[in-house]
Amino acid sequence: MINVTQPFLPPKEEYDKYVEGIWKRNWLTNNGPLVNELEIQLKKYFGQKHLLFLTNGTVAIQIAIRALGLKGKIITTPFSYVATTSSIVWEHCEPLFVDIDQHTLNIDADKIEEAITDDVSGILATHCFGNSCDINAIEKIASKHKLKVIYDAAHCFGTVYKGKSIFAYGDVSTTSFHATKLFHTIEGGAVFTQNADLLKRMAYMRNFGHDGPEKFNGVGINGKNSEFHAAMGLVNLKYVGEIIQRRKEQSLFYDEMLQNLKVQKPVIQQGCDFNYAYYPVIFESEEIALKMKAELEKRNISPRRYFYPSLSSLDYVSTPSPPISDDIAKRILCLPLYHDLSREEQLMIVRILLRTQNY
């Protein structure tokens, strides 16, 4: 079986060394030494002063919305994983969809300003597939209208924008360290900010609001992560350069071998050093996309309609359907891409796609 993705697993003995230490200390969670070490190492890796290691990327978005005090409507993208929209609704705000750019697949910055009304408090934009949004344009609009900006950067480990980690942008940037991501802690996520006071507020929030054992500072939830998850992150961090390089090589091989496949691929945003997190292709019609998917599945190969459906179709939102997002969502497939995917397996995928196109 060839899945659309497969978790990277480091040498077991390297993880076991960390587990032995956890057993000796008998300190499993509640801001343990490995959680602290992972946060330190990640700050060094990204060149950032402030981050918090959290339970997952969804909690990261929810904490960001709450910490920034967002109310009313939040402008966002309809082309993202459901957690982007569901987190807005979960925090008792209303998602206001702005359609995507048909080339980058990110929120169309040229359409944001016309959607702003008095009850809009922020922008939540997804860097889709690790490809940067038009950050300069978004932040100019946000500054002009005094709006807060959250970037859902779940796909963006290793992406750089204009010489800095993509996590350096926005009032808060969030990410996921889920097992499907190129860097993972099995389950996990993080928030980043340049604002030390905001980080302190989010730190209270991730631990029930605790300010010591018998004192609380505001409302909080359980957004902490464990020593076992941090251990996986510490081991995997040593291999992340190799992981990104491997995906780059696999992506360039697809590029070479699929030159005659009639598809559109996302255009990388100017100034973005891409991390090759996914390999999406957009077919000429939904019928062709579904035909390709069926032919691959006959041979135990699982691409993914990612993202499908467009989030405007969710039964708990009421907003006009954005035509570009709706159209792209019907025609897109992500092809298998992961560390242990072999050249022979890629060639088999390529042959099936080209042969199916020529039927």
Q: How many residues would you count in the chain?
A: 359
pLDDT at position 244, please? 98
pLDDT at position 2, please? 98
What does the alpha-carbon distance between residue 181 and residue 183 come to, in Å, rounded to a whole number?
Answer: 5
Omega before residue 307 within 30° of 0, cis: yes
Pairing relationship of beta strands 51-54 and 189-192 according to DSSP bridges:
antiparallel
Encode 106-137: b = buried (16+ Cβ within 10 Å), e = exposed: bbbbeebeeebeeebbbbbbbbbbbbbbbbbe
> Is residue 193 within 8 Å of 199, Cβ to Cβ?
yes
What does the alpha-carbon distance between residue 153 and residue 133 come to, in Å, rounded to a whole number?
Answer: 10
Angle, CA 143 vertex, CA 138 and CA 147 arms, to 5°: 85
Is residue 72 left, alpha or beta, with left meaning phi > 0 and alpha meaning psi from -120 to 50?
Answer: left
Q: What domains are there in the chain, each with its CATH number?
A: 12-237 (3.40.640.10), 240-357 (3.90.1150.10)
How is the beta sheet containing 160-161 ordered, strand by strand? 164-165, 160-161, 272-273
pLDDT at position 321, please? 84
> Hey, what long-range contacts does 323-326 have (CB within 8 A, 24 or more apart)?
323/99, 324/99, 324/100, 324/101, 324/102, 324/108, 325/77, 325/78, 325/79, 325/97, 325/99, 325/100, 326/78
pTM here? 0.97
What does the alpha-carbon distance between residue 265 and residue 153 come to, in Å, rounded to a whole number?
Answer: 20
Contact residues for 162 (Cβ-Cβ < 8 A; gap 6+): 135, 271
What does the alpha-carbon distance between residue 93 and residue 328 come to, in Å, rounded to a whole number?
Answer: 26
Q: How far is CA 333 from CA 141, 157, 191, 256, 359, in A?
A: 32, 21, 29, 18, 19
**Per-residue model confidence as pLDDT tens for the chain (359 residues):** 999 999 999 999 999 999 999 999 999 999 999 999 999 999 999 999 999 999 999 999 999 999 999 999 999 999 999 999 999 999 999 999 999 999 999 999 999 999 999 999 999 999 999 999 999 999 999 999 999 999 999 999 999 999 999 999 999 999 999 999 999 999 999 999 999 999 999 999 999 999 999 999 999 999 999 999 999 999 999 999 999 999 999 999 999 999 999 999 999 999 999 999 999 999 999 999 999 999 999 999 999 999 999 999 999 998 788 999 999 999 999 999 999 999 999 999 999 999 999 87
